[in-house]
């Protein structure tokens, strides 16, 4: 049942008192890479009719904004392989109350799309980069070419985004020897960097997550052999904990879902490419917004009602345990990382 328009709250608050003002929207489950921690080599992608249309995605974005959400991140899969994604971004960019419209990308399409993205209203982008060694980059992404991504980063810099952040997932014995190189690359190019601990989302062939686990504390200890890291109280309204490198002033973030649980301050929800609203990255509590969209096409009040009601089932938090795999059967590419 949908409520009368005047009965909608100005903001979304869950039953633990946390305000949700940030939504991450996966615009596709498809990707041109097959990163070893994210996807199987042979992935089966969703048929097109199960994916939300661009119009449906725009309506969801508008509904969230009308409920007080001020930040939308587009992700995937690889958001920039979705046809006409720039049109969606342009349309979302016209929502007055949105303070931030941002995107996470693997960088492969940025040579052609960095400028259109900037012109469509995206101010900040995150680019994933796990290795600066072409051979290792290929091993980690299975299908990616390092040069294409480095050229993409150049194109993004030339497009003058307010901020560009590198995201790196570090795996033991695969790229843990590149932590300093990635920090130096980011400093040299005036980019922020965040290191992300691998999360157990989906079963991936031969990949043993417990074996590959490399904690934020390990990464910090590696860096402290070369640099002095000073903790800073800076926040980007997210789970990153930040440090400044005393010698260069560069900023480094650590996203540590295992070693430092960040659920108490959770301010976000996620929409999968097929329209499932996930209330927690590490739990299965969800609401099927596609069913609402397709039962009541174009009815934003029905959508807003479902979103408001979903706050009642947002769980208190997640608890990743690498010894009991798989905890969550969906891959990160479905979740919208
Ligand atoms: N394709 C885009 C990209 O790679 O940036 C956006 C989607 S990707 C799922 C978003 C982020 O999630 C990337 O930075 C990626 O490295 C990260 N990621 C993917 N699988 C992960 C996992 N199992 N644990 C932690 N981070 C993961
Ligand atoms: Fe694709 Fe991003 Fe997943 Fe890598 S992490 S396979 S680039 S969706």
**pLDDT surpassing 50 at residue 39:** yes
**pLDDT surpassing 50 at residue 31:** yes
Q: Please give the pLDDT value at position 202.
A: 72
Q: 326 pLDDT band (50/70/90 cuts)?
A: very low
Q: 323 pLDDT band (50/70/90 cuts)?
A: low
The mean pLDDT value for 17-44 works out to 95
Is the CB of residue 98 below 6 angstroms from any atom belonging to ligand 1?
no
Q: For residue 331, give the ligand 2 atom closest to its CA.
A: 3
Q: Which residue is listed with tokens 């000073």?
A: 230
Q: For residue 39, give the ligand 2 atom closest to its CA.
A: 6
Q: Please give the pLDDT value at position 324.
A: 53
| Each residue's pLDDT tens digit, 135-163 | 999 999 999 999 999 999 999 999 999 99
The mean pLDDT value for 2-30 works out to 90
Q: For residue 144, give the ligand 2 atom closest to its CA.
A: 7
Query: Which of 16-25, 158-167, 197-206, 219-228 has the weakest average pLDDT?
Result: 197-206
Share of the chain above pLDDT 70, in %: 89
Separation of CA 110 and ligand 2 centre (Å): 15
Q: For residue 209, give the ligand 1 atom closest to its CA.
A: 23
Is the CB of residue 38 below 6 angstroms from any atom belonging to ligand 1?
yes
Separation of CA 141 and ligand 1 centre (Å): 11
Q: For residue 78, give the ligand 1 atom closest to its CA.
A: 1
Q: Which of 253, 113, 143, 246 is nearest to 192 (CA)?
A: 253
Q: Please give the pLDDT value at position 25.
A: 97
Q: Which residue is listed with tokens 């049942």?
A: 1
Separation of CA 32 and ligand 2 centre (Å): 8
Q: Please give the pLDDT value at position 239.
A: 75
Q: Which two tokens stand for residue 158?
A: 């030339």
Average pLDDT, the chain: 91
The mean pLDDT value for 193-210 works out to 81
Q: Which of 172, 252, 179, 250 is nearest to 215 (CA)?
A: 172
pTM over 0.85: yes
Q: 236 pLDDT band (50/70/90 cuts)?
A: low
Q: Distance of CA 245 to CAs 68, 228, 241, 252, 332, Å? A: 36, 6, 13, 8, 30
- Cα–Cα distance measured from residue 332 to residue 48, given in angstroms and rounded to the nearest whole number: 19
The mean pLDDT value for 309-313 works out to 96
Q: Please give the pLDDT value at position 265.
A: 84
Is the CB of residue 166 below 6 angstroms from any atom belonging to ligand 1?
no
Residue nearest to atom 19 of ligand 1 (CA): 38
**pLDDT higher for 330 or 283?**
283
Residue nearest to atom 8 of ligand 1 (CA): 337
Three-state secondary-structure class, residue 301: helix
Which domains are delineated in the chain? Answer: 12-335 (3.20.20.70)
Share of the chain above pLDDT 90, in %: 76
Is the CB of residue 186 below 6 angstroms from any atom belonging to ligand 1?
no
Is the CB of residue 104 below 6 angstroms from any atom belonging to ligand 1?
yes
Q: Please give the pLDDT value at position 328.
A: 58
Is the CB of residue 31 below 6 angstroms from any atom belonging to ligand 1?
yes
Q: Which of 278, 301, 310, 258 is nearest to 8 (CA)?
A: 301
Separation of CA 160 and ligand 1 centre (Å): 24
The mean pLDDT value for 15-37 works out to 96
The mean pLDDT value for 209-220 works out to 90
Residue nearest to atom 8 of ligand 2 (CA): 77
């Amino acid at each position: 049942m949908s409520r009368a328009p005047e009965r909608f709250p100005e903001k979304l608050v869950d039953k633990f008192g946390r305000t949700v003002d940030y939504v991450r929207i996966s615009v596709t489950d498809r990707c041109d890479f097959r990163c070893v921690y994210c996807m199987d080599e042979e992935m089966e992608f969703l048929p097109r009719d199960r994916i939300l249309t661009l119009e449906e995605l725009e309506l969801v974005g508008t509904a969230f904004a009308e409920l007080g959400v001020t930040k939308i991140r587009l992700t995937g899969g690889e958001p920039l392989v979705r046809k006409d994604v720039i049109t969606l971004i342009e349309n979302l960019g016209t929502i007055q109350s949105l303070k931030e419209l941002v995107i996470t990308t693997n960088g492969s399409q940025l040579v052609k799309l960095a400028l259109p993205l900037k012109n469509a209203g995206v101010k900040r982008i995150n680019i994933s980069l796990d290795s600066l060694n072409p051979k290792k980059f290929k091993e980690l992404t299975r299908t990616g070419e390092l040069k294409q991504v480095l050229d993409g980063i150049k194109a993004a810099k030339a497009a003058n985004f307010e901020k560009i952040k590198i995201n790196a997932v570090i795996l033991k014995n695969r790229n843990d020897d590149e932590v300093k190189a990635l920090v130096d690359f980011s400093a040299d190019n005036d980019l922020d960097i965040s290191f992300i601990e691998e999360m157990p989302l989906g079963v991936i062939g031969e990949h043993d997550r417990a074996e590959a686990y490399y904690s934020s504390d390990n990464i910090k200890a590696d860096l402290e052999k070369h640099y002095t890291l000073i903790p800073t109280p800076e926040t980007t309204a997210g789970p990153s904990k930040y440090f400044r490198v005393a010698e260069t002033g560069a900023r480094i973030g650590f996203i540590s879902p295992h070693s430092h649980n960040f659920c108490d301050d959770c301010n976000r929800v996620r929409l999968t490419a097929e329209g499932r609203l996930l209330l927690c990255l590490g739990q299965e509590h969800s609401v099927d917004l596609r069913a609402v969209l397709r039962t009541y096409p174009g009815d934003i009040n029905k959508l807003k009602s479902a979103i408001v009601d979903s706050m009642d089932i947002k769980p208190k938090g997640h608890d990743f345990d690498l010894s009991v795999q798989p905890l969550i059967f969906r891959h990160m590419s479905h979740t919208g990382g």
